[in-house]
């Protein structure tokens, strides 16, 4: 085991507010993606993924989808 662990990944240099502002500016057309990335010091790939909706949206359910719909599962549980 390592006695002194050194984190290899640094935290992002931008805040969530900066990211949200940059995404809003790009979506509204006030700024290009590249200009917003440079101005707010956000990586272009990160900003692109947030603008396109590939990041930041989490599923409401965790794991694989169930075999039965929720209402059918409730019926089965009620019969037991």
Which stretches of the chain are assigned E, i.e. beta strand? Answer: none
Pairwise CA distance, residues 51 & 24, whole Å: 8
**Is the CATH number 3.40.50.300 carried by domain 13-55?**
no
Which helix (H) or strand (E) segment holds residue 20: the answer is helix 16-28
Per-residue pLDDT of the chain (80 residues; tens, 9 = 90+): 667 888 888 888 899 999 999 999 999 999 999 999 999 999 999 999 999 988 766 656 667 877 888 889 889 988 88
- The domain ranges of the chain are 13-55
């Amino acid at each position: 085991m390592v006695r002194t662990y050194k984190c290899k990944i640094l935290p992002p240099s931008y805040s969530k507010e900066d990211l949200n502002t940059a995404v809003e500016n790009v979506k509204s057309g006030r700024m290009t993606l590249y200009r917003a990335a440079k101005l707010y010091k956000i990586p272009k790939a990160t900003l692109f993924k947030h603008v396109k909706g590939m990041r930041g949206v989490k599923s409401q359910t965790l794991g694989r989808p169930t075999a039965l719909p929720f209402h059918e599962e409730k019926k089965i549980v009620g019969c037991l």
